Amino acid sequence: MADEQMYSVLELEATTASALRLQYRRFPVRSDQISRIRGDGRTRIDLLVDEVDLVVGSADDETADRLGPSIARLALVAAREADSLGMVERAAHYAILAQVWAPGLPDAAAMVAIALLSTGDLEGAAKHFDRALLDDDAGNLVGMRILAARAASTSGNPARARDLLEPVTRNDPKFDEFWTLYSLVTDEADLLSSGVPTAVVPPTGATWRAHPHDEAETLQRLAGGRVLMIDDESVADWFGVRTVDGRAGFVGLGAVVASPRSA
């Protein structure tokens, strides 16, 4: 760091450092930023992360390597706080920052996935969930596997969603949400592999309209990722099935005649 006299050390309380599993609790910050970070009597973790990222990012490699894991932990705290406030893009920013400072940190990958899921980036979320689940401890978390499976299914990959849930079935979880999701993605994965005319609802969703020869006029919104079967391939054009951003899906006034589950 240039001109050392411009910098001070901000020290977190020992209890805070312990709760956050920080290896270090002393961080170099610019002297004129301390009052801003602690201006209201408490330490603003998000402002501390912004400052330390700036200061340590321009420091020597030894300092960056030493403080990196602790900076990542602070960034995760900032990400969770932002996520709890509904600030999903800011949450994603801090979660990605945590990955930068501690590559391979499962908690960071999971937080990035959750944030991306909230922003609608389903494919990105699915990839980060996969990274997080490489960790043995994270891989055993049922809640994370359900979130990961939903991301995979909604991005049009029910087979991957089924694979994510398979290990959980061995423990026979006693809640309906899991088995409903598992049954759905299993049916959809089987249907996709069956060779019958099918389409995957794009992440933006689709509206199900009655067959043109039916009297029913009910419209229903279908969640993204749902796999649907077309019972007559010759009328597929009427249903509006075509490629959307590289995916097979419904567009415009698309409709379905049959599906693996009742609509």
In the chain, domain spans: 4-192, 198-250
In whole numbers, what is the pLDDT of the chain averaged over residues?
A: 77
Which of 170, 103, 106 lies closest to 135, judged by CA?
106
Q: Whose structure tokens read 């992440």? A: 203
Helices 88-101 & 106-119, crossing angle to 10 degrees? 150
Residue 49 token pair: 């992360």
DSSP letter assigned to residue 231: S
- Average pLDDT over every residue of 181-209: 78
Contacts of residue 116, defined as CB under 8 A and 6 or more positions apart, other chains included, come to 92, 122, 124, 125, 128
Confidence (pLDDT) at 162: 92
Give the length of the chain: 263
The total of other beta-carbon atoms located within 10 Å of residue 24's CB is 15
| Angle, helices 142-154/106-119, rounded to nearest 10 degrees | 40
The model's confidence at residue 255, banded by pLDDT at 50, 70 and 90, is very low
Tell me what the mean pLDDT of segment 158-173 comes to: 88
Q: Is 60 exceeded by the pLDDT of residue 232?
A: no
The SS3 assignment for 198 reads: strand
Taking residues 214-228, what's their average pLDDT?
64
- Smallest Cα–Cα separation from 23: which of 72, 90, 86? 72
SS3 (DSSP) at 141: coil
Look up the pTM and report it. Answer: 0.61
147 has pLDDT over 70: yes
Does CATH place domain 4-192 in 1.25.40.10? yes
pLDDT tens string 47-100: 999 999 988 888 778 888 888 888 988 998 898 888 888 888 888 889 889 888
The residues near 129 (Cβ < 8 Å, ≥ 6 apart) are 109, 110, 113, 144, 147, 148, 151, 152, 164
Query: With bands split at pLDDT 50, 70 and 90, how would you rate the model's confidence at 208?
Result: low
Pairing of strands 247-250, 220-222: unpaired
What totals of helices (H) and strands (E) does the chain contain, helices first?
12, 8
Please tell me which residue, 227 or 44, carries the higher pLDDT value: 44
